[in-house]
Structure 1
Amino acid sequence: MKKKYTLKEFYELERKIFELRISVKNGNFNNELREKLTTLEIEYEKISSQISWDIENCNIDYGYEDNNEELKRVKKI
């Protein structure tokens, strides 16, 4: 069964990709880093389509506790 990703996991992945891109831009060009970045970008595309579908169908799992301030912030977005 395919894993269902939460919005929280999506944002965390997006942050990791951003950090790796900054690292590459700052001159860290080793092959291991590039492979990791490529793998994460592919995963990001897959998750992005699932999250988009979930949002369109009002079936989104935010990945936060209901009483969490972060959930309230994300729901406003």
Structure 2
Amino acid sequence: MSESNVWSRSRERLRVFSELLSQCAEEAAVYGKCVAATTAGKQELKKDLCAKEFEALKTCFTNAARKRIR
């Protein structure tokens, strides 16, 4: 495995991630707002506070990735 292949794959994954994120912008924004709201001040993010929003984002990413493969 050559070094250039590792970097090429890494760049490709980042490019794909940005494409998927652009397709899920609304879900990402909702999740981000939830995280920001639950960590206002010095509060720590606690598990499952934004589970519904995260699940919607995860579903969107999964669906977008499936569409990309076809």
TM-score by length of 2: 0.49
The structure with the greater share of residues assigned to helix is 2
Which structure would you say has the larger Rg? Answer: 2
TM-score by length of 1: 0.46
